[in-house]
C-alpha cells in the first residue's frame, strides 16, 4: 500500500473503524485438570485470578528474565487460550512442552482450527451491536471474551486493542468464513469501515505505543527493558521462571536501557532502519526499533532502546543514525491517545441533545443510538432517547430500549421507572405497576446501601487516622534518635499526605530528598502535597525534578505517575 493510502486508512479507522482479514494470529489451547496450576507456574501474570471470560497480558521468560513470548491469556470455561501473533506460536508451544512433565494437561495449537478477523475503531462496538440486535453486546473489559452469533455464524469475540482504539478479534471456525465475510464486509462498509493493510495496522499500533514481539522486543530483551512488566507481571503470585530476576530488578533498580519513544520534527517523513545504533559522538546511546510516519501527529515516531541518562521525557536528543544527523524528542508511549469510548459517547450525546433542541429529532435519535453503542450503560442517554421515542408514539422501541438497559444493568432504577411509564402509555396497567414496584424496591435497596457505605466510610476514615497517627508516632521515635533517617522522614511525610496534613508533610519530604536525592517516591509525595495546597509552581518543579531522577534511575512506575500528575497541572505540555 502506498504511504498516502496507509495514512488515510489509519485516519479512517480512527474516525470510524477498520478491519483486516485474515489477521495473523494463532491460539494455543491449554486444558485439563491441572491447566491453571501448570500455567500459573510458567507465565508471568496471575492465572488463578481469572474468571471464565476474563483475560490478561502475560509472558514466558527464560531464567534470566529474557522475553521468550508475549501474548494474551484468556480463561474460557475450564480451559485457557493463549492468543499471540502466529509467528510466536512455535516458540510458545516449544516452551510449554519443554516444561510439561506429569501434569494432567493437554496442549493443542490452533484447535479447533479457526481464522481471525481484526476489527478496530470507535464504530467497532456499534457494528457488532447492529449484528446482534435486539440482543445487546455485553459491556466487555479489555481482554474479555464471549461467544456471539454474528451474521449467522458462531464467533468467539475477544476485546483487545492493537491501535489504541476500542477493538475486537473475531475468531471464526475455518471453512465457514467465505459467505460470512461477505456479510461482514457489507455491514462494515455501512458504518464507514475500511480494510487495513499490514502497514496501516503497524502505523496505528506504533501511534498507540504498543510494542510488537519480534520487532520491538525479543529474546535479547529483559522484560523490564520493554516497559511491559506493569501490564504482564504479578508480583504476588509466587514463583515462575525468571521471577527472581524480575523481583530483584524491581527492588534494586531498573536495567541500564529501556524502551522509549522518539518524536522527530513535525512534517518529516523519515525512512529509518530498525536495529541501527544511535550514536552521540563515539558513544552508543540507543538502538532503533519500529518507526513510521504518524498521520495523527504529522511526524515520524519511533521506538528505541535508550540508556538511562538519555531517557528523560521531553529531552531533546541529537544523534547520528547510519551516518546522518538527527534530532528527536524523547517521549513515553503512547504517542497518540484517542478519546475513550465514554468520551466519544458523551460528545454524541451532547450533539444529540443539540439536534433535539433544534427540532431535528430523527438526527437526535441516530446520534443518541450511536452513543449507546459506544457506552451501553450511559443512563442519561437512555433517558433522553426514551423520551424522544415516546413523544413520537414509538413506544415499542422505547420499551425495548429500557429492557436493554435493565438486562445490562439489573439495578437500574431509571430503566424500570421508565418501563412503568411506557407500559402505562400502552395501556398495560399491570405491567406498569409491576415495574413501578420493582423500581421502588431497587431504590430502597440503594438507599440502604448508601447508608451502609457512609457508615463504612466513617469507620475507614477513623481507622486511617488511627493508623496514620500510629505510623507518625513510630517514625517520631526513630527521628528522635536519628533526624537524618531516610525511611522515617519519607514515612512521616507520606503518612501526613495520606492524612491530608500537607503543610506538615513538606519538611519531612524535603529532608528525605536532601538525605537521598534519588529517592523518587519522595518527589511524588512532595509534589502531591504542594499541589493539594495550591502551590502549583512548586508542585510543577518537584515533579519535573522527580521525573528527571526517575528517568536516570529507570524507575518507570513513579516516573509515569509524576508525568500524569504534571499533565494535570499543565495540560498540553507533557507527552
The residues pairing with 277 across neighbouring beta strands, listed in sequence order, are: 287
Phi, psi of 131 (to 5 degrees): -70, -25
* Neighbour count for residue 236 (Cβ, 10 Å): 7
Peptide bond before 22: cis, by omega within 30 degrees of 0?
yes
- Nearest Cα neighbor of 372 from 345, 347, 397, 390 is 345
Residue 554 reports pLDDT greater than 80:
no
**Averaged pLDDT, 334-362:** 93
CA distance 396 to 278: 65
- Nearest Cα neighbor of 36 from 105, 102, 111 is 105
For the segment 1-33, what is each residue's pLDDT rounded down to a tens digit?
577 899 999 999 999 999 999 999 999 999 999
CATH of domain 341-446: 1.25.40.10
The residue with cell 483486516 is 20
pLDDT confidence bin for 138, thresholds 50/70/90: confident
Domain with CATH 1.25.40.10 in the chain: 341-446, 482-569
Strand order in the sheet with 25-31: 55-61, 67-76, 79-85, 25-31, 106-109
**Averaged pLDDT, 396-402:** 93
- pLDDT at residue 28 in the model: 94
| Under 8 Å between Cβ of 39 and 72 | no
- pLDDT at residue 574 in the model: 41
Domain 482-569: state its class.
mainly alpha
- pLDDT at residue 572 in the model: 47
- pLDDT at residue 69 in the model: 97
Q: Dihedral of the CA atoms 465, 470, 475, 479 (nearest 10)?
A: 100
Cell numbers found for residue 157:
469475540
Residue 414 reports pLDDT greater than 60:
yes
Q: How far is CA 326 from CA 51, 264, 320, in A?
A: 49, 8, 6
Domain with CATH 3.30.1360.120 in the chain: 17-192
CA distance 76 to 29: 10
For the segment 39-65, what is each residue's pLDDT rounded down to a tens digit?
999 999 999 999 999 999 999 999 999
* Neighbour count for residue 538 (Cβ, 10 Å): 16
Domain 17-192: state its class.
alpha beta
Q: Which residues does 48 contact at the CB level (< 8 Å), separation at least 6? A: 36, 40, 237
Q: Fill in the DSSP letter of residue 222.
A: B
For the segment 493-522, what is each residue's pLDDT rounded down to a tens digit?
999 999 999 999 999 999 999 999 999 999
Q: Which helix (H) or strand (E) holds 57?
A: strand 55-61
- Nearest Cα neighbor of 130 from 190, 53, 193 is 190
The residue with cell 491469556 is 73
The fraction of the chain above a pLDDT of 70, given in percent, is 98
Q: Which residues does 68 contact at the CB level (< 8 Å), separation at least 6? A: 59, 60, 61, 62, 91, 95, 219
pLDDT confidence bin for 211, thresholds 50/70/90: very high
Please report the DSSP string for 31-79 in residue order.
Answer: ESTTHHHHHHTTSSS-GGGPPTT-EEEEEEE-TT-BEEEEEEEEEETTE
N- to C-terminal Cα distance for the chain? 30
493 or 550, which is more confident?
493
pLDDT confidence bin for 558, thresholds 50/70/90: confident
Q: Dihedral of the CA atoms 328, 331, 334, 339 (nearest 10)?
A: -90
Residue 575 reports pLDDT greater than 50:
no
- pLDDT at residue 2 in the model: 73
Phi, psi of 101 (to 5 degrees): -105, -95
Strand 194-195 relative to strand 167-173: parallel, antiparallel, unpaired?
A: unpaired
For the segment 225-262, what is each residue's pLDDT rounded down to a tens digit?
999 998 999 999 989 999 999 988 887 767 889 999 99
For the segment 321-335, what is each residue's pLDDT rounded down to a tens digit?
989 999 999 998 999
| Under 8 Å between Cβ of 334 and 208 | yes
- Nearest Cα neighbor of 97 from 131, 58, 133, 68 is 68
| Under 8 Å between Cβ of 9 and 1 | yes
The residues pairing with 278 across neighbouring beta strands, listed in sequence order, are: 286
The fraction of the chain above a pLDDT of 90, given in percent, is 78
Q: Which helix (H) or strand (E) holds 251?
A: helix 243-252
Q: Fill in the DSSP letter of residue 314.
A: T
The residues pairing with 167 across neighbouring beta strands, listed in sequence order, are: 120
CA distance 115 to 184: 14
| Under 8 Å between Cβ of 49 and 231 | no
- pLDDT at residue 145 in the model: 96
Q: Which residues does 510 contact at the CB level (< 8 Å), separation at least 6? A: 526
**Averaged pLDDT, 352-380:** 92
| Under 8 Å between Cβ of 169 and 157 | yes
Amino acid at each position: 500500500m502506498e504511504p498516502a493510502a496507509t495514512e488515510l486508512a489509519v485516519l479512517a479507522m480512527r474516525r470510524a473503524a477498520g478491519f483486516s482479514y485474515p489477521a495473523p494470529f494463532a491460539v494455543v489451547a491449554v486444558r485439563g485438570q491441572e491447566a491453571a496450576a501448570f500455567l500459573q507456574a510458567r507465565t508471568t501474570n496471575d492465572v488463578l485470578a481469572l474468571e471464565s471470560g476474563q483475560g490478561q497480558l502475560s509472558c514466558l521468560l527464560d531464567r534470566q528474565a529474557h522475553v521468550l513470548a508475549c501474548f494474551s491469556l484468556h480463561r474460557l470455561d475450564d480451559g485457557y487460550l493463549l492468543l499471540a501473533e502466529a509467528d510466536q506460536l512455535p516458540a510458545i508451544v516449544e516452551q510449554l512442552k519443554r516444561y510439561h512433565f506429569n501434569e494432567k494437561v493437554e496442549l493443542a495449537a490452533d484447535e479447533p482450527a479457526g481464522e481471525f478477523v481484526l476489527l478496530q475503531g470507535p464504530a467497532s462496538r456499534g457494528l457488532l451491536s447492529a449484528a446482534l440486535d435486539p440482543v445487546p453486546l455485553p459491556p466487555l473489559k479489555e481482554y474479555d471474551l464471549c461467544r456471539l452469533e454474528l451474521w449467522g455464524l458462531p464467533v468467539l469475540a475477544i476485546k483487545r486493542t492493537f491501535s489504541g482504539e476500542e477493538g475486537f478479534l473475531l475468531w471464526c471456525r475455518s471453512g465457514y468464513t467465505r459467505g460470512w465475510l461477505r456479510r461482514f464486509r457489507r455491514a462494515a462498509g455501512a458504518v464507514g469501515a475500511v480494510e487495513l493493510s499490514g502497514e496501516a495496522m503497524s502505523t496505528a499500533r506504533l501511534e498507540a505505543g504498543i510494542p510488537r514481539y519480534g520487532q520491538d522486543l525479543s529474546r535479547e530483551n529483559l522484560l523490564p527493558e520493554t516497559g511491559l512488566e506493569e501490564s504482564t507481571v504479578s508480583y504476588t503470585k509466587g514463583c515462575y521462571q525468571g521471577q527472581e530476576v524480575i523481583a530483584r530488578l524491581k527492588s534494586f533498580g531498573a536495567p541500564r536501557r529501556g524502551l522509549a519513544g522518539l518524536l522527530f520534527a513535525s512534517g518529516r517523513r523519515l525512512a529509518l532502519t530498525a536495529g541501527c545504533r544511535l550514536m552521540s559522538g563515539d558513544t552508543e546511546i540507543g538502538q532503533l526499533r519500529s518507526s513510521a510516519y504518524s498521520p495523527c501527529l504529522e511526524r515520524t515516531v519511533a521506538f528505541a532502546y535508550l540508556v538511562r541518562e538519555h531517557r528523560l521525557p521531553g529531552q531533546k536528543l541529537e544523534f547520528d543514525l547510519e551516518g546522518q544527523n538527527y534530532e528527536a524528542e524523547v517521549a513515553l508511549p503512547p504517542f497518540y491517545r484517542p478519546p475513550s469510548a465514554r468520551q466519544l459517547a458523551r460528545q454524541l450525546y451532547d450533539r444529540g441533545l443539540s439536534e433535539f433542541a433544534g427540532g431535528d429529532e430523527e438526527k437526535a435519535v441516530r446520534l443518541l443510538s450511536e452513543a449507546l453503542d459506544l457506552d451501553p450503560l450511559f443512563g442519561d442517554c437512555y433517558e433522553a432517547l426514551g423520551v424522544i421515542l415516546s413523544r413520537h408514539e414509538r413506544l415499542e422501541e422505547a420499551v425495548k430500549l429500557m429492557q436493554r438497559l435493565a438486562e445490562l444493568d439489573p439495578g437500574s432504577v431509571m430503566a424500570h421507572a421508565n418501563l412503568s411509564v411506557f407500559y402505562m402509555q400502552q395501556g398495560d396497567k399491570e405491567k406498569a405497576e409491576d415495574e413501578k414496584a420493582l423500581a421502588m424496591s431497587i431504590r430502597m435497596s440503594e438507599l440502604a446501601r448508601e447508608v451502609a457505605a457512609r457508615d463504612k466510610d466513617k469507620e475507614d476514615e477513623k481507622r486511617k487516622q488511627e493508623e496514620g497517627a500510629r505510623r507518625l508516632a513510630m517514625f517520631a521515635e526513630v527521628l528522635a534518635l536519628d533526624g537524618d533517617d531516610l525511611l522515617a522522614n519519607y514515612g512521616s511525610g507520606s503518612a501526613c499526605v495520606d492524612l491530608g496534613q500537607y503543610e506538615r508533610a513538606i519538611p519531612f519530604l524535603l529532608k528525605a530528598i536532601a538525605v537521598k536525592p534519588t529517592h523518587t517516591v519522595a518527589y511524588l509525595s512532595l509534589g502531591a502535597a504542594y499541589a493539594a495546597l495550591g502551590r502549583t509552581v512548586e508542585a510543577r518543579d518537584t515533579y519535573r525534578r522527580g521525573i528527571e531522577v526517575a528517568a536516570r534511575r529507570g524507575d518507570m512506575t513513579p516516573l509515569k505517575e509524576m508525568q500524569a500528575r504534571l499533565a494535570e497541572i499543565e495540560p498540553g505540555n507533557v507527552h
